[in-house]
Amino acid sequence: MSEDFAARIAELRRLAHELRTPLTLIQGYLSLLEDDELASEQRRQACALMREKCAEMNRLIGSFLDEASERVELAIESEVGGVPAVATPSPKLTTT
């Protein structure tokens, strides 16, 4: 297995672990809400916490995608000799 591939797998495992923690909390609160085991104020607090954890997961995913995008851009630049690659428009097909 190449080092690059192993590093990518390690990153995905890290991300999965970081996402699993808030997901577990959300699942627990949803079970309590579903079973009507929380008082009104506790329900509000649980909903606020779940919203916070969803935002946290969204930030984690966004950060992961930003980092991945930067790596792709750097890889493209290094393949083109340090000059950013520019996409050229594809020729239009004409029918006669």
Question: Which CATH number characterizes residue 73's domain?
Answer: 1.10.287.130
Provide, rounded to the nearest whole percent, the portion of the chain with pLDDT above 70. Answer: 82
| 15/44 Cα distance (integer angstroms) | 28
**94 or 86: whose pLDDT is higher?**
86
Tens of pLDDT, residue by residue over 10-28, are 989 999 999 999 999 999 9
How many domains does the structure of the chain reveal?
A: 1
Please give the pLDDT value at position 81. 64
Quote the domain boundaries for residue 55: 3-79
The answer as to whether 91 is a domain residue is no
pLDDT digits (tens, 9 = 90+) for 48-76: 999 999 999 999 999 988 888 887 777 77
CA 70 – CA 15 distance, rounded (Å): 17
* More confidently predicted of 32 and 72: 32
